[in-house]
Amino acid sequence: MPDQLESKELKITAVTKNFSQGGEVTHALRSVDFQARLGELVMIVGPSGSGKTTLLSVIAGTLSADMGTIDLFGFTLSGAKSSAITSFRKRNIGFIFQQFHLIPTLTCAENISIPLILNGVAPEEIKPRIKEVLSEVGIEEKYNAFPKQLSGGQQQRVAIARALVHHPHLIICDEPTSALDAETGSNIMEIIRHLAIAKDRCVIVVTHDARIFKYADRTVNMDDGRIRSEEKNHR
């Protein structure tokens, strides 16, 4: 399902993104260079409005950059057809968001099955794959539950299971712990740290949440559309 990658590196070079609204221009990304490697958990931190979500969206190809190049492990996003980008994303990227984004009318298992169905996984393979990933996130017994029957932390575990079930190479997390209390947030980061990081996988986490900075291999600081500094964390 996921692609055989040509390179171990995700590389963004001189990426610019402006938004125009009512004659006013916001410089959301000002010539940003950013790299991440397979096997690494990179955190992007910075004040509100500094461009973190915009950077994630440009990396995921859900927003197109005005200028610059985006190379995802050998797949060049810049200039690719939108159908090729959508198809790459479906096979190779998993998403985890602050508000979980589970579909309320579907059970946990059905929510988790979505990436498998989109990727054409054989029907007989789907149930065992869901069971396996639900047990990895520690809520096997919630297979038939609906999202509203779960706590916030449990809903985020389902969202993690959905992000991982098709074994993507890149996991993109936008404020994964912001809607959770401190202890639940730490549990969620432990799960992301242990399940998501693998030698053939890269995890990028955007966060405001100082309590989870310690889970990063590297931290990149953004401010006003620029990367100001970065530091390697000694874990």
Binding residues for ligand ATP (CB under 6 A): 19, 21, 26, 28, 46, 48-54, 208
Quote the Cα angle for 92-111-162, to 5°: 35
Interaction partner, residue 74 (Mg ion, ligand ATP, none; CB < 5-8 Å by kind): none
Interaction partner, residue 54 (ligand ATP, Mg ion, none; CB < 5-8 Å by kind): ligand ATP
Q: Give the amino acid at 179.
A: A
Q: Give me the residues paired with residue 202 across strands.
A: 170
Contact 15, 70 (CB under 8 A): yes
* Cβ distance to Mg ion smaller for residue 44 or 70: 44
* Cβ distance to ligand ATP smaller for residue 51 or 115: 51
Measured between alpha carbons, how far is residue 14 from residues 65, 222, 232 in Å? 10, 15, 22
* C-alpha–C-alpha distance, residues 181 and 199, integer Å: 30
Interaction partner, residue 49 (Mg ion, ligand ATP, none; CB < 5-8 Å by kind): ligand ATP
* Cβ distance to ligand ATP smaller for residue 4 or 21: 21
* Cβ distance to ligand ATP smaller for residue 115 or 185: 185
Least spacing, CB of residue 179 vs ligand ATP, in Å = 13
Q: Which of residues 42-61 bind Mg ion (CB under 5 A)?
A: 52-53
- Measured over the CA atoms of residue 82, residue 83, residue 86 and residue 89, the dihedral's sign is negative
Least spacing, CB of residue 172 vs Mg ion, in Å = 12
Least spacing, CB of residue 176 vs ligand ATP, in Å = 13
Task: Please state at what angle helix 123-136 crosses helix 108-118, rounded to 10 degrees.
Answer: 130
Least spacing, CB of residue 224 vs ligand ATP, in Å = 9
Alpha helices in the chain (DSSP H): 52-60, 82-92, 108-118, 123-136, 152-164, 182-191
Least spacing, CB of residue 87 vs ligand ATP, in Å = 24
* Cβ distance to ligand ATP smaller for residue 24 or 124: 24
Interaction partner, residue 21 (ligand ATP, Mg ion, none; CB < 5-8 Å by kind): ligand ATP
Look at residues 231, 190, 229, 227 and name the one whose alpha carbon lies nearest to residue 52: 227
DSSP conformation class of 213: G
Q: Which residue has the tokens 């790299």?
A: 35
* Cβ distance to ligand ATP smaller for residue 29 or 134: 29
Interaction partner, residue 226 (Mg ion, ligand ATP, none; CB < 5-8 Å by kind): none
Look at residues 185, 176, 210, 187 and name the one whose alpha carbon lies nearest to residue 99: 176
* C-alpha–C-alpha distance, residues 213 and 101, integer Å: 23
Least spacing, CB of residue 130 vs ligand ATP, in Å = 31
What residues make contact with Mg ion under the rule CB under 5 A? 52-53
